[in-house]
């Protein structure tokens, strides 16, 4: 059910370990390239590492928050009135 906050929290907690582990190993793999000081590979490795870290933050904080907001009953009611549709997804 979309309004089950406890279930949403449990999914985020269960997924956190996998997201953090993947992010740390990927970023850790670029450490030797970052420490080499090469003028071509160092900015590339920094960009990829930063992107991976940013995507982990989005996955852990932004995505669950947006899901919670968009599945809330008042939002669904407002969308129903905004688009004048009576066949919105069932609760």
90-6-79 Cα angle (round to 5): 35
Structure token pair of residue 84: 């004048």
Angle, helices 41-57/5-29, rounded to nearest 10 degrees: 170
78 domain-assigned: yes
Range(s) of the domain holding residue 58: 5-83
34 domain-assigned: yes
Q: How many percent of the chain have pLDDT more than 70?
A: 81
Query: Based on the structure, what is the number of domains in the chain?
Result: 1
Each residue of 44-63: pLDDT tens digit?
A: 999 999 999 999 999 888 88
90 domain-assigned: no
Residues whose CB falls within 8 Å of the CB of residue 64, separated by 6 or more in sequence, listed in order = 8, 11, 12
Q: What is the radius of gyration, based on Cα positions, of the chain? A: 20
User: 45, 51, 43, 44: which is closest to 23 by C-alpha?
Assistant: 51
Confidence of residue 3 (pLDDT cuts 50, 70, 90): low
């Amino acid at each position: 059910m979309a309004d089950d906050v406890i279930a949403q929290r449990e999914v985020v907690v269960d997924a956190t370990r996998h997201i953090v582990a993947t992010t740390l190993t990927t970023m850790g793999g670029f450490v030797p390239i970052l420490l080499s000081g090469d003028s071509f590979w160092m900015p590339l490795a920094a960009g990829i590492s930063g992107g991976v870290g940013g995507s982990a933050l989005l996955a852990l904080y932004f995505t669950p928050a947006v899901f919670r907001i968009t599945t809330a009953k008042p939002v669904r009611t407002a969308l129903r009135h905004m688009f004048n549709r009576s066949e919105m997804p069932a609760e």
